[in-house]
Amino acid sequence: MKKFNKITPEGTKDILFEECLSQRTVSERLTHIFKMRGYNEVITPGMEYYDVFDAPNAAIPQYEMYKSTDNKGRLIVFRPDLTLPIARLTATRLQAMEKPIRLYYNQPIYRNRKDLSGRSDETTQAGIELLGASGLKADIEVIAAAVEALSACTENFRLEIGSAKFFGALADELPVSADKKEDIRQTIESKNYAALGDMLDALPKSVYTEAIKKLPRLFGGAEVFAEAEQFCKGHPVLSETLDYMRTLYTALSSLGLDDRLMVDFGLVQRNDYYTGVVFSAYVENYGDAVLMGGRYDTLLKQFDAPMPAIGFAANVDALASVLLDDGRIESVPTPDVLVHAESGAEIKAQMKIRELTANGKICESSVFDTVDEAERYAKRRGIPEVIVLRGEENA
């Protein structure tokens, strides 16, 4: 039988040196922003019961979950999402906590991607959840935090905002099943205009089929709202949603994003638990969103703790890659000093290293038998200084 003891599982990889430094840098920058905005860190288990993700609105396909069983035969999964575990945690551990509740995380998720898309099955996400708060102020707070998080890593990003409620209100006017609505949503998400046209042409023609057909093209600046108005006449939910999105866009425009802020009514996130504003961020030379989020006011009802909520997750791996590509991560530093101990001076050498590192020096401890070997090693590594400590018998 072939052994796989020299490779990592498909969809995973080892992370080395500058990549580690870059990931750590991104994590530290993001978590600093979250903490300074009053968010508190939580850590959820890497394994959860399958039931946490089996909710009707979870929209995480079963085939994308890595599954196993516990010692009682109960189905468990490696965490494929962080919002649902935090909803579970809030409903069970934090119900008595004063609202709103501000939480942040920095943890890996696991997705079994069988499409060989090149995406990683193990991805680190850092994000926030604002639970127990609704309305414009809460939405602005979370999106502004997302902008700050992105800006801490790169200025070269584009933020797109849309509305799950807008698409939902249009889809509710179609004479189709829930499964068919999901098919339509997926074609919009993938921007498969041909398939979308075929689906909608098979339905009775109406202002709503025409609106959904044009939804992926309702993308741009403030002018998009005028284009969308034609589909909202006589429909209170659509009109109210459009007015709210215009107000939110106007407010966010004051963050100094200029042309990096876009409206996209074709932004229909995959997770069906979104109920209001949704948003995504992109950077050049990276195909997928590096940050995604939105409002999910009905999700916690599934855990018997109904409350409004909004949050986002940033892809730490992707942002770390951006930092590396931009040359904004220094190379792994070369040690300043190599400390070599002759026989009997081993502890003295460790005390010297403690002294030097306390003063900010990067030190390596020599493991060689002779001074000549230590000096040759230092030369090969580019270590500028070698300190030799002699034992009592050589003093």
Phi then psi for 9, rounded to 5 degrees? -60, 150
Q: Percentage of residues in the chain with pLDDT exceeding 90?
A: 71
350's CB contacts (< 8 A; 6+ apart) are 365
* Range with the poorest average pLDDT among 68-72, 117-121, 167-171, 216-220: 117-121
Q: Where are the alpha helices (DSSP H) in 37-191?
A: 83-93, 136-151, 164-171, 178-189
pLDDT of residue 116: 52
CA separation, residue 230 to residues 27, 154, 214, 290 (Å): 44, 37, 11, 33
- The per-residue pLDDT for range 313-352, each reduced to its tens digit, is 999 999 999 999 887 787 889 999 999 999 999 999 999 9
The Cα–Cα gap between 294 and 318 comes to 20
Q: What are the pLDDT digits (tens) for 162-209?
A: 999 999 999 999 998 888 888 888 888 777 888 888 888 888 888 899
Give, in words, the CATH class of 17-325: alpha beta
Residue 274 labeled ligand binder: yes
373 carries a ligand binding annotation = no
Please, which pLDDT band fits residue 393 given cuts at 50, 70 and 90? Answer: low
Structure-derived torsion over alpha carbons of residues 183, 189, 194, 198, reported in degrees to the nearest 10: 30
Q: What are 171-176's contacts with CB under 8 Å, separation 24+?
A: 171/212, 173/206, 173/208, 173/235, 174/203, 174/208, 174/209, 174/212, 175/203, 175/204, 176/203
* 256: alpha, beta or left? (left if phi > 0; alpha if psi -120 to 50): left
Residue-by-residue DSSP string for 194-253? HHHHHHHHTSPP-HHHHHHHHGGG-EESTHHHHHHHTTTTT-HHHHHHHHHHHHHHHHHG
Q: Measured in whole angstroms, how far is the alpha carbon of residue 266 from the centre of its chain?
A: 21
Mean pLDDT of 82-100: 96
Please count the other Cβ atoms lying within 10 Å of the Cβ belonging to residue 389: 19
- Positive or negative, the CA dihedral 187, 192, 195, 198 is positive
pLDDT at 268 (0 to 100): 82
Rounded mean pLDDT of the chain? 92
Please state the pTM of the whole predicted model.
Answer: 0.92
Which pLDDT score is estimated for 284?
A: 87
Largest CA distance in the chain: 98
- One-letter amino acid for residue 41 of the chain: E
CB 66 within 8 A of CB 77: yes
Q: Is the dihedral of CA 130, 132, 133, 134 positive or negative?
A: positive
User: Tell me, what's the pLDDT at 325?
Assistant: 86
Residue among 143, 112, 111, 144 at smallest CA distance from 125: 111
Q: Which two tokens stand for residue 21?
A: 């430094």
Q: What distance in Å separates the CA atoms of residue 37 and residue 33, rounded to the nearest whole number? A: 6
With a CB cutoff of 8 Å and minimum separation 6, the contacts of 33 are 145, 148, 149, 152
Output the six-digit token pair for 129: 């959840």
Separation CA 177–CA 66 (nearest Å) = 30
Q: Find out whether 111 is annotated in a ligand binding site.
A: yes
pLDDT at position 394 is: 54
pLDDT of residue 379: 97
Q: What are the boundaries of each domain within the chain? A: 17-325, 337-394
Listed residue (278, 272, 276) closest to 181, CA to CA: 272
> Does residue 125 have a known ligand-binding role?
yes
pLDDT of residue 77: 96
